[in-house]
Structure 1
Amino acid sequence: MQPFRVFNGKVNNKATKVFKGEASGICDWDDIKYPSMLTLNRAMFSNYWIEDEIRLNEDLKQYRHALSEDERYVYNVSTGMLTQLDSVANRFNFLLGYYCTDPSVAANIQLIGAFEGLHARSYQYLTATMLDSNEKKQAFNAPKEIPLLVERNQSIFERIQTYVDDPDSLDKMYDALLAYLVLEGIYFTGTFAYFHSLARSNRMIGSNNMINLIKTDETQHSVFYGELMQILMLENPELNTQERLERSLAFIKACVEKEKTWAEFLFKDIETLSLDEYKDYVEYLTNLVCRNSGMPEPYPDNQELKSKWILTYGSKQGTKADFFQTNVINYSHESGDGFDL
């Protein structure tokens, strides 16, 4: 597969295909193959925010004095693990955009990659605020050292790396996209529930506000990649087989079981988050991922969110007023008079 042409004046502006197609290189948003790409682009841009404008003063006090040792451990490991996933996501989007031949789709992939970089920076902000240098090092090494976490992530990373090693293969691209959908829609979003549970107990509100900004982005990314998966199947019908569907669902369900096993280890001593609730939530998220991708839902008993508090504490609050002055959680650009630390 050849990377995109910077400019080709001999072909139309509208791409013939998203991958392995032709396009001039000019991104004319009034003449694109998939108009939903403009809607998604505008939606993602509307969520602009900056991580260090989330105030964490109270969170720092509560982290030191109101969280148990177990709760601090989960906070640390979760932020370290999320940083790992977002770092992989950032690089994956870079490669995928490089081989995308539709300028409108590539623009969205590049934007998602930039947001994944912002998310990694945001977890850095959380950990740098709460942890000393040794604690932070332990948190960021956790994804490399905890066997259950390594095992949970390995099948995801293997599929993505296989595509990185052979980007000419549409089969391997499909597998990588499927793995990325699990990473975005299940592993990311599931982990966020822990921060929602702390906010439910009126603790670590600033951290949860940050997570909810990230969660809104990740939800949009999951929608985009679900649509991209459907486009890939539409444009390459040889990929759309019953055997592939069955293998895909089996892979996703295996990832869900690994997530449940990991949760049993990570959340076993966390009183604010029930393991049964969490497992139901993971199945609910899995149904969303499959539905977005045009696949049947593997967990028909979890089509609705059972734990309504996750919606209450897992959503951005308030209404955006002015784009450059406030965001939906009502943070404001600081004058420079005060800092969190």
Structure 2
Amino acid sequence: MTTQSTGLLTRVKVLDPVNPNRATAIFGGEASGILNWNDLKYPHFYKLRQRIRSLFWTANEVDMTQDVKQFPNLSQAEQEAFLKIIGLLATLDGPQTDVAAKLAHYVTDPSVKSLFATIADQESEHNHSYAYVLSSVTTFDNQVKSFETGRHDPVLLKRNERIAEVYNDFATRPTTENALKAMVYTTLLEGLFFYSGFAFFYNLARNGKMVGTSTMISYINRDELEHGKAMSDVFRAAMGENPEMNTHEFTDWIYDAYRHSVVQETLWSRYVLDGVDGIDPEEMEGYIKYRANKMLRMLGLSEIYPEHTDNPMKWIRAYVDSFDDTKTDFFEQTSRQYTKTSDLNGFDDL
């Protein structure tokens, strides 16, 4: 990688009027800090923020009355999976709030700062929702135990090793390269790591169990789909501004990150869903690979699991596909190189 991509970024000043209002770059550029939504380098980011803002909701809007009654009647396997999966989701969504804020500290473009602030706020509400669910259905001791899962469960600790490494690398050494890598792992969290957990709650709901929790999860799922699209679009725009990063080496790093994550998510799903009726482990693995393909297309890269281009868990469409209207035709390509995003080729084609 070149010095430009590996040199340390500096925290952007809050207000620097000698610079233009329209940012010159996402990272390492110039901007005054004055945000005029009608004069942006990437007008598409306004549309992304509007879409995400339109999804606003709060956890206490969801009625948990029936869930309170049903939780004690779940099987032991279902109760254990419920608590561990909530623990997983909390372990991932808590850092998502922070990593969006940390990225924003080094982002020159104020529209991207605002977009990341909006994402961070929603991630914070996601984390709150897990505490809200647990406080509704189980004891305080179980609530604490669930949130401790990410610190003590050996399978989950192993699963999250690379996430922690990449996020902490950016926190301690904020370069453009590390920022891009952090965004790649954000797409993995938003588009892959949550989904075996989401499937568990949707499986309960299709059997008439814990529908309030499933409703909450569907709101979170909808948010994550939009976050994944937003982060992918910012990533691609930043890649277009930093062509020195468009190398086989970095491409291979991303593919390796996705392959490793698919393995870890598959191992986790088999571990946490063991004994839970209604979810076939092989179908779950296929669904994870299907999600990996989808997120890679959004990053402008090729699929790595050609046998998993269709959703193998048809029943989950009722909970996910009805609001997953992200267009993917633009991303269908076989090149190893990234599809650049600029005002010339148009974000609206995505």
TM-score by length of 1: 0.90
Give the whole-Å Cα distance in 2 for the aligned partners of 1:302 and 1:208.
26
1:29 and 2:37 correspond: yes
**Given the alignment, which residue of 146, 150, 155 partners 2:162?**
155
**Given the alignment, which residue of 95, 101, 124 partners 1:94?**
101
- The residue matched to 2:290 in structure 1 has which SS? helix
1:261 and 2:267 correspond: yes
Is the CA contact (8 Å cut-off) linking 1:199 and 1:313 kept in structure 2?
no
Listed as ranges, the matches of 1:63-78 within 5 Å are: 63-65=71-73, 67-78=74-85
Is the CA contact (8 Å cut-off) linking 2:77 and 2:274 kept in structure 1?
no
> Could you list the per-position Cα deviations for residues 53-101 of structure 1 after superposition, in whole angstroms to 9, with x for gaps in the alignment?
1001111111112x10100111111111111111110111111111111
**Given the alignment, which residue of 70, 73, 89 partners 1:62?**
70
1:243 and 2:249 correspond: yes
Give the whole-Å Cα distance in 2 for the aligned partners of 1:80 and 1:204.
17
**Given the alignment, which residue of 300, 303, 318 partners 1:294?**
300
Give the whole-Å Cα distance in 1 for the aligned partners of 2:276 and 2:113.
41
Is the CA contact (8 Å cut-off) linking 2:196 and 2:269 kept in structure 1?
no
1:210 and 2:201 correspond: no
**Given the alignment, which residue of 132, 137, 157 partners 1:125?**
132
Give the whole-Å Cα distance in 1 for the aligned partners of 2:231 and 2:271.
30
The 10-residue stretch of structure 1 (187-196 or 42-51) with the greater mean CA deviation from structure 2: 187-196
Deviation at 1:190, TM superposition (A): 3.2
**Given the alignment, which residue of 2, 6, 13 partners 2:10?**
2
Give the whole-Å Cα distance in 2 for the aligned partners of 1:69 and 1:140.
19
Give the whole-Å Cα distance in 2 for the aligned partners of 1:43 and 1:224.
10
RMSD of aligned alpha carbons: 1.3
Deviation at 1:8, TM superposition (A): 2.2
Provide the aligned length of Structure 1 versus Structure 2.
Answer: 315
> Could you list the per-position Cα deviations for residues 127-181 of structure 1 after superposition, in whole angstroms to 9, with x for gaps in the alignment?
11111011111111111111111000111111110110011x1222222222222
- The residue matched to 2:33 in structure 1 has which SS? coil
Give the whole-Å Cα distance in 2 for the aligned partners of 1:276 and 1:258.
15
Deviation at 1:108, TM superposition (A): 0.4
Structure 1: runs of 5+ lacking an equivalent:
318-341
> Could you list the per-position Cα deviations for residues 168-197 of structure 1 after superposition, in whole angstroms to 9, with x for gaps in the alignment?
x12222222222221221112332111111
Deviation at 1:227, TM superposition (A): 0.9
- The residue matched to 1:301 in structure 2 has which SS? coil
Is the CA contact (8 Å cut-off) linking 1:197 and 1:313 kept in structure 2?
no
Number of the residue aligned with 1:135: 142
Number of the residue aligned with 1:18: 26
Number of the residue aligned with 2:196: 190
- The residue matched to 1:302 in structure 2 has which SS? coil
Give the whole-Å Cα distance in 2 for the aligned partners of 1:123 and 1:288.
26
Structure 2: runs of 5+ lacking an equivalent:
1-8, 324-350
